[in-house]
A and B are shown apart, each in its own frame.
Chain A
Amino acid sequence: MGSYILKRLISAIPVLLGITVIVFLIMAMIPGDPATAILGSYATPENVEKLNRDLGLDKPLVQRYFIWLGNMLTGDFGRSFSLNRPVLDEILERFSATLVLAGTSFVLCAVLGILAGVISAARQYGLADKLITFVVLIGISVPSFFLGMMMILIFAVDLRLLPVSGMYAIYGGGDLPDLIRHLIMPAGALAAVATGVVARMSRSAMLEVLRQDYIRTARAKGVKERRVLMGHALRAAMVAIIPVLGIQAGFVLSGAVYIEMVFQWPGVGRMLVDAILKRDILLVQGGVVFVAACYVLFNIAVDVAQSLLDPRIKT
């Protein structure tokens, strides 16, 4: 198992390098030069040229890439001009907030989605199945940002149950219950679509498995139906569900960008959108590479979980 994890980590290196190349190339396509963007259009040509030299922008593209890559490997992601602080500090601070939001949503979508899928499959064409299918259809069709806005209208404005926005109350908050109250709506809105997708996938995976001969064997030996479903069938269905969970993690991370805007959540998604509008290239570059790298590592964890679950996978 240890050697398998190591192997997967090593195989991630080219992917991570590829990510840095893609991001760097996309950013290099930006027309005009960053120094003008930083200094503004009234800057003198001498100043622009000096800044370009300071930023290393006068060097050829390939050289610039390796300088940037080398700096990143030593933990230096550069300096954000719009925030005037190291990019990495900003990313780490923002990413932890995103992780709280996206992580909660991911757990929600996995637990609720799988549960709904199992119930739906066990009661195929029954009332519960139809109800779940209907709710799932709504869940995967409503834009998360619209759902979030409607939640604010209902639960924050009308019912005054939950805070409108932010991660903590400005005065007197900061503890766990405060965080949870702030988290309910954004995490719920963010999880909606992913829950729907996971529920759909779980339903069809369960139906496929329930048709297998080994389920009949389990029933023939007198295993209780609850255990047949939650043990034998779900265990086998997880082999198909886990890759979908890996994909959904990406969708939750993506959707977090919208939800962070709607709920003023201080996460990395909002940071990126601001950075794009301000053309803060180093911040965009660093943020995208950092989050993508985390996602790659998460997917390796998914593969490892998969190999633990299925002994037939060669490790």
Chain B
Amino acid sequence: MTTFLRLLFRNKLAGLGAVVLGLILVLVLIAPLLPLPDPNVTATGDRFLRPFSEGHLLGTDHLGRDLMARLMHGTRVSLAIGLISAFAAAFVGSAIGIIAGYFGGRIDNLIMRGIDMLMAFPYILLALAIVAALGPGLMNALIAVAAVNVPFFARNIRGITVSLAGREFIDAARLAGLGHTRIITSELLPNVLPVIVIGISTTVGWMILETAGLSFLGLGSQPPDADLGSMLGEARAALITAPHTSVVPGLMIFLIVMSINLLGDGVRDALDPRLKSGALSRPRATTLVDRKGAVPEADQKGLLNLQELETQFHVGPRIYRAVNRVSLHVNPGECLGIIGESGSGKSVTALSVMGLVASPPGVVTGGAVRYGGEDLLSASYESLRAKRGENVAYIFQDPLATLHPLYKIGDQLIEAIQSHHDTSRTEARAKALELLKSVRIPNAEQRLDNFPHEMSGGMRQRVGIAMALANDPDVIIADEPTTALDVTVQAQILALLDELRRERGLAIIFITHDFGVVAQLCDRVAVMYAGQIVEEGPTMAVLDAPAHPYTKRLIACVPELGGGRRELATIPGLPPVVDNLPEGCAFAARCDKASETCRTGTIALKGTAREGMALEGMAARAVRCLFPEEAI
């Protein structure tokens, strides 16, 4: 409860709503104590007095009644009616919903059919029909408004109840021999209550508006009694000659409904667990770049060259250092593997290249990404967009989520082509067909008109690759492209990528957590841990003689086919959380060789090409460890 209130009042607007509503409530409650005239005493001689007249702060209405007194009285009635009808609707609706959801089967079916029928009416028709039957009057208007809102509660609460009724704790209560009433009141109700409260808080404003509306039409409170709606309805006749008689009750309805809406939104946000986690979003077209230090000088390494790249996630007061001073490069025709556990920062590194890290909360805070020498981080949006897909293309994991579910795959391919090339649709379609054939999709012609959900996982991944190839890029960044696929399909996809690299001289950055894949495809490999590169070098050299304890342990985790039964190694512990990195080596806590010196200062990535081995194509090895397993 206290957390709820804290969450509620952290929301300034909800606080404002509470204050306004509170003031109105206090004013209305102390109204009988105020020196106000009787709201129903008429004085035809004093008709339509303007506000601030002698003895009438807000003036008088068409019968000379004091507007201030009537306003207080009317507000009181309107608030009471709105609240009562909200609670009545919530009570009846929730009861129906719980019964339908809990008992299910035929009862549920019957009740929900009835509810559906009530919902087939535009709400006012039903309210009008009820008022027509019962006759105009405030109580009848209340009943009509409450009745009209019953289906809303019934349907929502039924949905929640159905999902709860299948859960273990309800079964347990049944097995314990509890009766239906007991289960409903002690097991179900506490779980449903927050939803009911949200429902009330978001509909009470509506209820006040609707009852005011019925009164406005002359179907609610009858003279001489007044609520805000009927005051407005009576004032309408004199709208032009005495506008203040309309403005006063109208503004009051507006204030009440607005403060209730603000408060209701606050209640919903405070109670809804989905929003409590601080729903992240990425509306920006490119990742925010906010570099603290100087941009590193350009060096001549590689076609794509990451220098001291730093990417962080800023969530509230916390800073997650997902990528921490990472330097990498890749040459034409070369395949660089980036390997690491989940959360090691390899995907964020890859996404940072083309500004695709979700932002907010992602921010690039340092370093440079150079493509052919040009720093992409300082490039304009248009210049970056022109390079996306055209020069550097991506293949993502899980092609069901990464292909647009509502566009045919042909259209998605055509769009990729037409985003960079001014070709006709027919030409682009021909090219798309060619692309599908080049990634060996059978029946390519028909496949163009398929939606992603109509294809298998392997086929979808091929589409993803075809899309990356659409504009003959120079670099492809493949982010775990085979993780979601079974082994045979995986092998086919890898062979395909390898062939493309050899045929077209593509540079590939291949992100994976699978050493087998790295061995098959990559020339060089970089191992990432907690946002840093801990080791890099030629694939075979690293695999044969890993220098970093982490790399060694990681390789030991790979089961060997035909290697007989042996205990599979695991690395004890978990990677550190990147918003609270320890000093020194990030792996120290899980490393059995760690000593005190490992836990202080910054440990550099050290190493060079070995003397005499720095031949053409033989890359440097480096390791970030004080006590490497192998001398390099």
Which residues of A approach B to under 8 Å, CB–CB? 14-15, 18-19, 22-23, 26-27, 29-30, 121-124, 137-138, 140-143, 145-146, 149-150, 152-153, 157, 207, 210-225, 228, 232, 235-236, 239, 250-251, 253-255, 257-258, 261-262, 269, 272-273, 275-277, 279, 281, 284, 288, 291-292, 295-296, 299, 309-312
Contacts and interface: CB of A to CB of B under 8 A. Distances in A.
B129 A288 contact: yes
Nearest to B388: A222
B209 interface: yes
Nearest first, the 7 A-B pairs at minimum CB distance are A254-B124, A146-B250, A141-B258, A18-B117, A222-B389, A221-B389, A222-B388
Given A22-B117, A143-B254, A228 B122 contact: no
Contact of B285 (A30, A219, A292): A219
Given A254-B124, A261-B216, A137 B262 contact: yes
A214 B281 contact: no
A34 to B, nearest CB: 12
Interface in B259-286: 261-262, 279-283, 285
A211 B217 contact: no
B356 A216 contact: yes
Interface string B205-232: 1000100110011110000000000001
Contact of B129 (A15, A26, A138): A26
Interface stretch (B173-181, B397-405, B540-548, B551-559): B397-405
B217 A222 contact: no
A133 B468 CA distance: 39
Contact of B282 (A210, A236, A254, A272): A210
Contacts of A219: 285, 356, 388
Contacts of B574: none
Given A15-B116, A218-B404, A254-B123, A277 B250 contact: no
Given A220-B393, A272-B125, A288-B129, 17 more contacts: A22-B126, A27-B133, A30-B132, A122-B283, A124-B283, A143-B257, A145-B232, A150-B247, A214-B401, A223-B416, A232-B404, A232-B407, A235-B406, A239-B406, A277-B219, A281-B132, A288-B121
Interface of B: 113-114, 116-118, 120-126, 128-134, 136, 205, 209, 212-213, 216-219, 232, 236, 239-240, 243, 246-247, 250, 253-254, 257-258, 261-262, 279-283, 285, 351, 354, 356, 358, 381, 385-390, 393-394, 396, 398, 401-407, 415-416, 419-420, 451, 453, 467-468, 470-471
A295 B261 CA distance: 28
A261 B257 CA distance: 22
B593 to A, nearest CB: 39
Contacts of B398: 213
Contacts of A275: 132
Contact of A141 (B257, B279, B406): B257
A29 B134 contact: yes
A29 B420 contact: no
- Chain A CB count within 10 A is highest, among B118, B250, B398, B406, for B406
Contacts of B114: 18
A218 B131 CA distance: 54
A275 B614 CA distance: 96
A179 to B, nearest CB: 23
Contacts of A15: 116-117, 120
Contacts of A292: 120-122, 125
A145 B234 CA distance: 13
A145 B216 contact: yes
Contact of B283 (A22, A123, A150): A123
Given A137-B258, A210-B281, A284-B128, A217 B403 contact: yes
Nearest to B386: A222
A312 B405 contact: yes
A292 B124 CA distance: 10
Nearest to A140: B261
Nearest to A218: B404
A137 B261 contact: yes
A257 B212 contact: no
Contacts of A14: 113
A19 B121 contact: yes
Contact of B253 (A143, A239, A309): A143
Contacts of A311: 406, 451, 453
A251 B123 CA distance: 7
Given A211-B281, A219-B356, A254-B124, A276 B131 contact: yes
Contacts of A224: 385, 419
Contacts of A22: 117-118, 121, 126
Contacts of B407: 232, 235
Contacts of B403: 214, 217
Contacts of A250: 121-123
Contacts of A29: 133-134
Contacts of B131: 276
B404 A214 contact: yes
A295 B122 contact: yes
24 contacts: A19-B117, A121-B283, A123-B283, A142-B254, A143-B250, A143-B257, A145-B213, A146-B232, A210-B282, A210-B283, A217-B404, A218-B404, A220-B393, A221-B416, A228-B285, A253-B124, A254-B123, A257-B124, A257-B128, A276-B128, A277-B219, A284-B129, A292-B121, A311-B453
Contacts of B257: 141-143
Contacts of A272: 125, 128
A222 B356 contact: no
Contacts of B250: 143, 146, 149-150
A292 B217 CA distance: 20
Contacts of A30: 132-133
Contacts of B285: 219, 225, 228
Contacts of A258: 213, 216-217
Nearest to A284: B132
Contacts of B121: 19, 22, 250, 288, 292, 295
Nearest to B114: A18
Contacts of B387: 222
Nearest to B130: A26
A27 B135 CA distance: 11
B331 to A, nearest CB: 22
Contacts of B467: 217, 221
Contacts of A239: 406
A146 B254 contact: yes
B125 A149 contact: no
A128 to B, nearest CB: 12
Contacts of A221: 388-389, 393-394, 415-416, 419, 467-468, 470
A311 B358 CA distance: 28
A235 B404 CA distance: 10
Contacts of B124: 253-255, 257, 269
Nearest to B240: A157
Contacts of B133: 26-27, 29-30
Contacts of A235: 404, 406-407
B460 to A, nearest CB: 12
Contacts of B453: 311-312
A153 B239 contact: yes
Contacts of B451: 311-312
Contacts of B351: 216
B290 to A, nearest CB: 16
B405 A225 contact: no
B209 A216 contact: no
A18 B191 CA distance: 33
B167 to A, nearest CB: 26
